[in-house]
């Protein structure tokens, strides 16, 4: 019997697939659709207060994926925390994720403290792949700021915590980032968020309004970068820090490659937005078929076992 069961932070999940934070999760109704699908769990990025996000048009499907500058539209932390606490009562056998984005380092700690002081018993993700400080890069590109935030967070936050990362492109940055992350009791890193500041043009015009057309690139465009990040951190992180793979997952083969690179769970973003929640069942069936053909019964049979030329 082929199984897609997995574990993150000591919690078990019947399916290794889930939604990427920010996709199909604006409202409780959207989250419920994901929860009731074949996905193993759900996640949602929340800010401290509700946000309308950037002006439209801010998202466009393009031939190999998508470009967006959404601006973090969401209902605010209290909305999603209330929902998750209700789920914990009705579905105590399942574990859910909550992804947080602070718009400043101070706001980040307010969010973490709110979760710490709540009854939430799931897994928290801190999104370090959004710009926070004017004139500074995304937090996870600024190792000094990353250390400052994590140093502070782990003085009071003792629930399971992981971080969502932007893509890194240089071997030296993999080395430097892993050295930082290995200092902390992180449960996972999530690789990767969209590739920032891309542009797509139709005729003579950009296709999204914010930032004069600059936006995050997702979908098939980013799978090679995502796979490289998953595997690079697998090679460098302490074994206690797991990896979640995100980027370019449209098929069972895509999910298989993420797991081969050592992803313990696999998130689906652009393809979920394009195809709806039925994608979880299709990708699950395709992944199981690949595993059965290769004689693999469980993810551990091939997880992290990418082959190299000798």
Catalytic positions are 130
Could you give the 3-state DSSP secondary structure of residue 7? strand
Question: Is the Cα torsion angle 285, 291, 295, 300 positive or negative in sign?
Answer: negative
Do residues 245 and 230 lie in contact, with contact meaning Cβ atoms separated by under 8 Å? yes
DSSP secondary-structure letter at 183? T
Give the sign of the dihedral formed by CA 134, CA 140, CA 145, CA 149. Answer: positive
Tell me the two tokens of residue 210. Answer: 């914010």
Structure tokens at 21: 């934070």
Q: Which residues contact 55 (CB under 8 A, 6 or more apart)?
A: 209, 210
Integer Cα distance of 17 and 184 in angstroms: 26
CA distance 1 to 104: 48
What is the C-alpha to C-alpha distance for residues 193 and 200, in angstroms, rounded to an integer? 18
Tokens 């629930």 locate to: 159
């Amino acid at each position: 019997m082929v199984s897609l069961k997995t574990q993150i932070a000591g919690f078990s999940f019947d399916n290794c697939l889930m939604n990427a934070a920010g996709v199909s999760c604006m409202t409780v109704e959207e989250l419920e659709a994901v929860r009731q699908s074949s996905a193993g769990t759900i996640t949602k990025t929340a800010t401290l207060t509700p946000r309308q996000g950037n002006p439209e048009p801010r998202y466009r499907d393009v031939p190999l994926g998508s470009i967006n500058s959404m601006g973090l539209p969401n209902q605010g932390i209290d909305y999603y925390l209330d929902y998750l606490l209700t789920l914990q009562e009705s579905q105590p056998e399942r574990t859910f994720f909550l992804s947080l984005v602070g718009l400043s380092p101070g706001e980040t700690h307010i969010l973490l403290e709110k979760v710490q002081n709540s009854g939430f018993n799931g897994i928290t993700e801190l999104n370090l792949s959004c710009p926070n400080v004017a004139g500074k890069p995304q937090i996870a590109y600024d190792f000094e700021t990353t250390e400052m935030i994590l140093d502070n967070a782990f003085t009071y936050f003792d629930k399971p915590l992981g971080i969502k990362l932007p893509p890194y492109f240089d071997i030296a940055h993999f080395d430097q980032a892993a050295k930082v992350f290995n200092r902390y009791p992180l449960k996972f890193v999530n690789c990767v968020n969209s590739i920032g500041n891309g542009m797509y043009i139709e005729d003579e015009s950009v296709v999204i309004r914010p930032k004069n057309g600059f936006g995050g690139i997702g979908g098939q465009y980013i799978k090679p970068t995502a796979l490289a990040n998953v595997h690079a951190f697998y090679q460098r992180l302490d074994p206690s820090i797991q990896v979640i793979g995100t980027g370019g997952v449209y098929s069972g083969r895509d999910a298989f490659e993420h797991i081969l690179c050592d992803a313990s769970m696999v998130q689906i973003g652009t393809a979920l937005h394009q195809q709806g929640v039925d994608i979880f069942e299709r990708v699950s069936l395709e992944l199981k078929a690949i595993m059965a053909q290769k004689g693999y019964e469980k993810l551990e049979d091939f997880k992290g076992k990418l082959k190299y030329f000798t």
